């Protein structure tokens, strides 16, 4: 597969290479655990090996006897910590249960102790020698397990309203055609290649933390609250994040424990979580169930959409995806009904993972649409076309821009969709059954307040500073490019500093808000600089130099405050306290328009007629997402998203032992993701789209766009190849054989 540098089309920035590329490929880039510390001690977590019950006691003698062991911290001796709130309750935490709170064990893989030693190896050995006496109880694992508790989400979390429009029940009872089916999506883990780590270093009463984070201000605030310190005494630094996908956005149990140990020992402590431990300490995508009822007239026009969803959760925290508020905006649905439910079991806390609600919800909806098209004997693209809409019917608010059908037309043409014989099993190549399928990709265009500081020096160099994060997406590059474009200088002349909580606050790097929000703040700062200089944008250097001389200044520094019109707080003040204020998408709570990015994905699968081996020789995606800041980094994002989507369809699945409520394949050998041999041709088409309403940068987030809908496109293609409809992901050989 070749990836030539993508073309710079209308409303796209230059396809420059990412600025940290060389540092990353040469190993010069320092990730959090690479940061040098003076005389560090090493931490190692001890996890519960039962799914529910309590710790009746420890025998820490053998652990303490390991040479080099400095500390065995458990709930019996852990220094005091203050509670913090869950991310979805306005706080920064993955879970509201404090680390090492008491003897209770709520799930398998709960942190029950931390060993600190002179070396990593000594800490690990001591962890293995710590004797834990358990009192066991029987855990509930997942849907259908004894002891789970079902709650209607809107009843326990009044903030989470289910979208309602018209009378869907009545419309379904009189619809000419009704599709009614259940779908399921599995547990998935983020598995970023960079492991979770925390290093803590105290200087007097000041704490520095090196930790890969999608939200340095949130981590700073959360840790300060836990430790009872003023936030300005805590600094979080991470230059690079080696993948996150949601797993590094909230405060997890480990950080405060490492900080406490470092304070107690009077020396830096470094903790790197192992791959298997990572499966329960930093969240995951929980399993979901869906019942979708889709009613249509004979001509294919939708008359009602009824989507009930069940989400698996732990016992205590208010984590919820929802997602019907977005899917119900997708098409002209004259009637909508939905009930979201939480099913509570004895499980480690789930958390957002790349396109958290859209991946499961759009898999169900886009599968249902394909099934309805089969019933109606209509082309599935045409079914979507006649139900295309320029507004969200539930709120009545128009889309700022909606490029969905342009995406279908471009991707369909590139794919050769016209040549498809719609009869299942009709397109065969020897022993291989060929299937073609398609589905809609979408992601709400979300924004957050953000603050950026930009300094332009008279010599034509500049600097931009914002506590944003590069989670591998190219944030350094596009933020630098934004400043370069605004100030009419070369990108190389702009220094970019991010990933440090002493900088002006950026938003959590979640919800695909970073580019739109950070670049908008940077652009505002640049405009303020140009206004002070009195030179028009793009003025030649000579004129600009003269302006600096006239003002008798060597440099001008401005702070740009970006506050979206839809912001609930209408200020950047909350950012400094680590508050999250993300709005956009369906915009249920503001008068702003409906804002989404769109895509259309077409997939070819080949299913072996006898072995049922499934291959994906090609996938074509077209995307319309407002301004593309850099087509090269965008291409990588979109390509990576589609590959992830293929993984969702065919590979990714954390299996659970339902007796012990324990994740079984907690390693990269058995947790399958697509590798090069699984991926053949991936074509990314970027459709030019101008949208000046979404934010000053004109950009719609693309980090979570392309992996939405892919699983449905693959499932639809598998149906076309085989006549078998798989409604439970992932689609594995065994499901096609039985």
* Least distance from ligand MOS to the Cβ atom of residue 356, Å: 5
Cβ 249 to ligand MOS, closest distance in Å?
Answer: 5
DSSP E strand stretches across 20-130: 41-47, 53-59, 69-74, 104-105, 111-117
Positive or negative torsion for Cα 631, 634, 639, 642: negative
The CA-CA-CA angle for residues 517, 523, 525, to 5°, reads 105
Of 705, 717, 550, the closest CA to residue 638 belongs to 705
Site for ligand MOS in 79-98 (CB under 6 A): none
Q: Does 356 bind ligand MOS (CB under 6 A)?
A: yes
Shortest Cβ 351–ligand MOS spacing (Å): 8
Q: Which is nearer to ligand MOS, 218 or 510 (CB)?
A: 510
Is 444 a residue that touches ligand MOS (CB under 6 A)?
no
Nearer Cβ to ligand MOS, position 362 or 410?
362
For helices 514-533 and 475-487, the axis angle rounded to 10 degrees is 30
Rounded CA-CA distance 113/55 in Å is 11
User: Taking the complex as a whole, how short is the minimal distance between the CB of residue 513 and ligand MOS, in angstroms?
Assistant: 8
Q: Which is nearer to ligand MOS, 66 or 281 (CB)?
A: 281
Name 523's Cβ contacts closer than 8 Å, sequence gap at least 6: 482, 483, 486, 560, 696, 697
Which position among 194, 465, 652, 704 bears the catalytic label?
704
Query: What are the phi and psi torsion angles at 547 (to 5°)?
Result: -65, -45
The radius of gyration of the chain's CA atoms, rounded to the nearest angstrom, is: 26
- Name the token pair of 508: 């959590």
Q: Confirm or reject binding of residue 323 to ligand MOS (CB under 6 A).
A: no
Q: Does 511 bind ligand MOS (CB under 6 A)?
A: yes
- Judged by CB under 6 A, does residue 645 bind ligand MOS? no
3-class SS letters over 525-593: HHHHHHHHHCCCCCCCHHHHHHHHHHHCCCEEEEEEEECCCCCCCCCCHHHHCCCCCCEECCCCCCCCC
Least distance CB 220 / ligand MOS (angstroms): 18
**Assigned token pair, 718:** 């598998």
Closer to ligand MOS by Cβ: residue 249 or 437: 249
Cβ-based nearer residue to ligand MOS, 16 or 351: 351
354 binds ligand MOS (CB under 6 A): yes
Q: What is the Cα–Cα distance from 540 to 711, expressed in whole angstroms?
A: 50
Q: Which range of residues in 150-158, 346-354, 473-481, 665-673 is near ligand MOS by CB under 6 A?
A: 346-354
- Kindly provide the b/e burial profile for residues 380-407, where b requires at least 16 CB atoms within 10 angstroms of the residue's own CB: bbebbeebebeebbbbebebbbbbbbbb
C-beta nearest to ligand MOS: residue: 246
SS3 (DSSP) at 149: strand
Q: Give, in order, the Cα–Cα distances in Å from 286 to each of 61, 361, 459.
A: 38, 13, 53
**Residue 6 or residue 249: which is nearer to ligand MOS going by CB?**
249
Give whichever of 249 and 300 is closer to ligand MOS, judged by the CB atom: 249
Which of 149, 141, 115, 140 lies closest to 130, judged by CA? 115
Between residues 210 and 215, which has the closer beta carbon with respect to ligand MOS? 215
Please identify which residue in 278, 353, 373, 524 interacts with ligand MOS, judged by CB under 6 A.
353
* Residues within window 220-279 making contact with ligand MOS, judged by CB under 6 A: 245-246, 249
- Quote the least distance from Cβ 194 to ligand MOS, whole Å: 14
* Binding piece for ligand MOS, criterion CB under 6 A, among 99-107, 349-357, 404-412, 659-667: 349-357
Residue that the structure tokens 């250097």 belong to: 541
Q: Please, which of residues 8-47 interact with ligand MOS by CB under 6 A?
A: none
Q: Which is nearer to ligand MOS, 270 or 354 (CB)?
A: 354
Helices and strands (H, E) in the chain, number of each type: 19, 28
In the numeric block, the tokens 């279908």 are attached to 408
Among 352, 408, 596, 623, binds ligand MOS (CB under 6 A): 352
CB of 469 to ligand MOS, least distance (A): 10
287 classed as catalytic? no
By CB under 6 A, the count of residues binding ligand MOS is 10
Q: Does 350 bind ligand MOS (CB under 6 A)?
A: no
Q: Which of the ranges 348-356, 621-629, 662-670, 716-724 carries the binding residues for ligand MOS, by CB under 6 A?
A: 348-356
Alpha-carbon distance of 90 to 307, in angstroms, equals 27
Find the shortest distance in angstroms from Cβ 214 to ligand MOS: 6
With respect to ligand MOS, which residue has the nearer C-beta, 255 or 722? 255
Residue 510 interacts with ligand MOS (CB under 6 A): yes or no: yes
Q: What sign does the CA torsion over 716, 717, 721, 727 have? A: negative
Contact window for ligand MOS (CB under 6 A) among 32-40, 347-355, 458-466, 477-485: 347-355
Considering the complex, what minimum distance in angstroms separates the CB of residue 713 from ligand MOS? 21
Please state the closest distance from residue 250 (CB atom) to ligand MOS, in A: 10
Residue 472 binds to ligand MOS (criterion: CB under 6 A): no
Instruction: Say how many residues make up the chain.
Output: 738
Taking every pair of Cα atoms in the chain, the longest distance, rounded to a whole number of angstroms, is 80
State how far the alpha carbon of 34 is from the alpha carbons of 31, 209, 249, in Å.
Answer: 5, 12, 20
List the one residue from 199, 214, 572, 633 that touches ligand MOS (CB under 6 A). Answer: 214
For binding to ligand MOS (CB under 6 A), which residues are involved?
214, 245-246, 249, 352-354, 356, 510-511
The catalytic residue positions are: 704
């Amino acid at each position: 597969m070749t990836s030539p540098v993508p073309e710079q089309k209308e409303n796209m920035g230059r396809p420059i290479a990412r600025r940290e590329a060389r540092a990353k490929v040469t190993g010069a880039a320092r990730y959090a655990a690479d940061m040098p510390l003076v005389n560090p001690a090493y931490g190692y977590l001890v996890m519960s090996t039962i799914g529910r019950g309590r710790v009746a006691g420890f025998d820490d003698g053998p652990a303490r006897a390991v040479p080099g062991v400095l500390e065995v911290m458990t709930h019996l001796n852990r220094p005091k910590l203050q509670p913090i709130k869950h991310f979805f309750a306005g706080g920064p935490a993955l879970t509201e249960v404090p680390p090492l709170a008491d003897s209770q064990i709520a799930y398998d893989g709960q942190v029950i102790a931390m060993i600190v030693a002179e070396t990593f190896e000594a800490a690990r050995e001591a962890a293995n020698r710590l004797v834990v006496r358990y009192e066991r109880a029987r855990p509930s694992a997942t849907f259908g397990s004894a002891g789970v508790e079902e709650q209607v989400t809107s009843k326990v979390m009044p903030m989470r309203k289910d979208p309602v429009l018209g009378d869907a029940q009545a419309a379904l009872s009189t619809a000419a055609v009704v599709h009614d089916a259940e779908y399921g999506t599995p547990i998935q883990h983020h598995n970023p290649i960079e492991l979770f780590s925390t290093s803590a270093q105290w200087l007097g009463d000041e704490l520095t933390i090196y930790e890969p984070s999608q939200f340095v201000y949130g981590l700073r605030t959360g840790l300060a609250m836990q430790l009872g310190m003023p936030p300005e005494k805590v600094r979080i630094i991470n230059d690079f994040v080696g993948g996150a996908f949601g797993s590094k956005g909230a405060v997890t149990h480990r950080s405060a424990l490492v900080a406490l140990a470092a304070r107690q020992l009077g020396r830096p402590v470094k903790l790197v979580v192992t791959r298997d431990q990572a499966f329960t300490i930093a969240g995951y995508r929980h399993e979901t169930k869906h019942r979708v009822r889709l009613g249509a007239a004979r001509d294919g026009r939708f008359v009602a959409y009824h989507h009930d969803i069940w989400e698996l959760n732990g016992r205590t925290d208010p984590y919820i995806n929802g997602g019907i508020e977005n899917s119900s905006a997708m098409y002209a649905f004259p009637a909508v009904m939905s009930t979201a439910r939480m099913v509570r079991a004895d499980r480690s806390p789930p958390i957002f993972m790349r396109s958290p609600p859209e991946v499961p919800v759009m898999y169900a909806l886009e599968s249902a649409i394909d099934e309805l098209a089969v019933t109606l004997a209509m082309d599935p693209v045409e079914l979507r076309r006649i139900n295309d809409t320029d507004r969200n019917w539930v709120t009545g608010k128009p889309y700022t821009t909606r490029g969905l059908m342009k995406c279908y037309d471009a991707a369909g043409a590139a794919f050769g969709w016209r040549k498809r014989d719609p009869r299942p099993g009709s397109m065969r190549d020897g022993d291989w059954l060929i299937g073609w399928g398609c589905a809609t990709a979408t992601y709400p265009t979300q924004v957050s307040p953000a603050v950026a500081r930009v300094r332009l020096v008279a010599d034509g160099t500049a600097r931009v500073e914002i506590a944003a994060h590069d989670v591998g997406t190219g944030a350094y590059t596009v933020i630098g490019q934004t400043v370069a474009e605004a100030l009419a200088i070369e990108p190389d002349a702009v220094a970019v500093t991010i990933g440090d909580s002493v900088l002006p606050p950026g938003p959590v790097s979640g919800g695909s808000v970073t580019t739109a929000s950070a670049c908008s703040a940077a652009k505002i700062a640049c405009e303020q600089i140009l206004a002070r200089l009195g030179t028009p944008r793009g003025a030649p250097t000579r004129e600009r130099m003269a302006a600096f001389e006239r003002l008798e200044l060597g440099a001008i520094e401005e702070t740009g405050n970006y506050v979206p019109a839809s912001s609930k707080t209408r200020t950047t003040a909350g950012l400094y306290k680590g508050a999250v204020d993300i709005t956009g998408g369906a915009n249920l709570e503001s008068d702003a328009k409906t804002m989404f990015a769109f895509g259309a994905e077409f997939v070819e699968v080949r299913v072996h007629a006898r072995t049922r081996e499934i291959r994906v020789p090609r996938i074509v995606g077209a995307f319309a997402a407002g301004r593309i800041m850099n087509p090269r980094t965008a291409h990588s994002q979109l390509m990576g998203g589609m590959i992830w989507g293929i993984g969702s369809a065919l590979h990714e699945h954390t299996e659970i032992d339902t007796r012990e409520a324990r994740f079984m394949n907690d390693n990269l050998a058995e947790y399958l993701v697509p590798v090069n041999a699984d991926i053949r041709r991936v074509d990314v088409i970027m459709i030019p789209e101008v949208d000046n309403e979404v934010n000053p940068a004109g950009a719609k987030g693309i980090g979570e766009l392309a992996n939405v809908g892919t699983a449905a496109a693959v499932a639809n293609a598998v149906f076309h190849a085989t006549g078998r409809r798989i409604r439970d992901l992932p689609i594995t050989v065994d499901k096609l054989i039985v």
